[in-house]
Amino acid sequence: MTFISIEFLIFFTVIVFAYYLIPHRWRWVLLLAASYSFYASLSSYFVLLLLLSTAFSYSTGIMIEKQETKEQKKKVMLAGICVLLFFLGWFKYFNFVNDSIRAISAYMDWNYAIPYQEIVLPLAISFYTFQAVSYLVDIYRGKQKAERHYGYFSIYFAFFPQLVAGPIERAKKLLPQFKVEQTLKYENLSYGMKRIAWGFFKKTLIADRLAPIVASVYDSPDPTGSQIVLATVLFSIQLYADFSALSDIAIGCARMLGIKLTENFKQPHLAVSIADFWSRWHITLSAWLRDYIFVPLCKGRKKRSEIYLVIIITFLISGIWHGAAWSFVLWGLIHGFYRVFGDHTKHVRGKMATFTQLDRSPTLHKWMKIATTFLLVCFSRVFFRSDSVTAAFENAQLFLTPSSWRPSGIIEAFELFSLLDLVIFTFFFVIVQLFHYIERKNASTWNWLSQRPAFARYAVYVLLIVSILVFGASGQGFVYGGF
């Protein structure tokens, strides 16, 4: 039962009806049952691990709070984090480390006998582990009280709209919302349904239509440079449409229950720098890495070189979090290098803009920075999408080949599309861009739309629904659902 399924829509409809029909004091039971049922439908083998991690985090939080001294609190917190990271490390990284050691041993002609282990990655373990870590650290820092109600804490740990792929929420924001009696409000139901429909639209009409085209290039034994360039650009669009759609559906579902989740995207492909990109892309992960990795490691450091090292470490952790493969490690390091290089050269680039008089044409200068940032992000995603380090370097070389950028080569690469697919994709891609344009001019596209005449509003709603039903290409899993 995935988000993009009739089964989920029926399941969620029943939950919403029951939620507002039963008394508030029993709603936590319903949400908890719904969360575990949803998780079990996707990954029944690991419900026990989810229960164990929940119980451990709950008891560790109380233990931290009961300690008398700061030093004792810190020891308990670190012990708790180590156990949580052990679970994550065993399931997600054991074979990665084991295979890496085996490869080094073979190269050095050492005897290494530990074989590959058949370990299945538990669904959502990366997301709920980070939420658990933030909860323990916030208790230690005095920013969060240890939750005594086991039911509410369990919902925070496994809330089904955002369990699979975030947003990564903080207990300080999410826990109090479960305890407040939510009343049935038309605006919540209306907004939630619109966000869910928008998520379905982006997933089925953009992401899932691009997925097979991107795969046909990256799975090809001999792609051309132009095909790699086009496929990588399309993959960037696919990845954004896919992941933001997942966040839209999560936010929409939660809002229909009266719960407000954190926005996770803010038109990231319009970023004017890599720093700006990470303030717009997967915002809750970026904030988590800033608050629990970057800031603590920067404490007491004043030298620019030391801060640059911390930036590299932070992005390295980001890469490892995304996947247990050296290609993800390299992807993280590339973004770390981007950030360091961008900060180190900002004064020089400012002088160049003045010298070339670009700063006198702010609109042109802005769009040049957007284009440059987008291309840098696309290049890094060659490593994100490739199946191995060897393939990543081969694809990166093709990406950087000058002939790959010739207009004739790019036009030839568009042969990956059938004429009908190209027309359909272009039409719906333009609709997405129109929504983004409205959002840039207004606080919310949906609020702006609600102020239009009824005929215009419902024409848009009908267009979304009919487009999904007629042209939607589903069957593809969510990219970030595998993390």
Active site residue 282: no
Can you state the angle between helices 171-179 and 125-141, rounded to 10 degrees? Answer: 90
Q: Which long-range contacts (CB under 8 A, 24 or more apart) does 108-113 make?
A: none
State the catalytic residue, choosing from 24, 269, 282, 322.
322
Which H or E run contains 423? helix 419-441
Q: Which two tokens stand for residue 136?
A: 């323990």
Q: Which two tokens stand for residue 391?
A: 């393939």
Q: CA of 41: how far to CAs of 36, 207, 264, in Å?
A: 8, 24, 25
Q: Which two tokens stand for residue 400?
A: 């950087």
CA dist 175 and 147 (Å) reads 9
Taking Cα atoms as reference points, which of 121, 127, 112, 123 lies closest to residue 94? 121
Q: Which two tokens stand for residue 480?
A: 């970030």
Chain-centroid distance, C-alpha 125: 14
Taking Cα atoms as reference points, which of 71, 186, 45, 66 lies closest to residue 125? 45
CB neighbours of residue 93 within 10 Å? 17
Interacting residues of 43 by C-beta distance below 8 A, sequence separation 6+: 122, 123, 124
CA dist 145 and 137 (Å) reads 11
**Alpha-carbon dihedral 377, 383, 387, 389, rounded to 10 degrees:** 180
**Scanning the structure block, which residue is given the tokens 């708790």?**
80
Which sequence positions are flagged as catalytic? 322
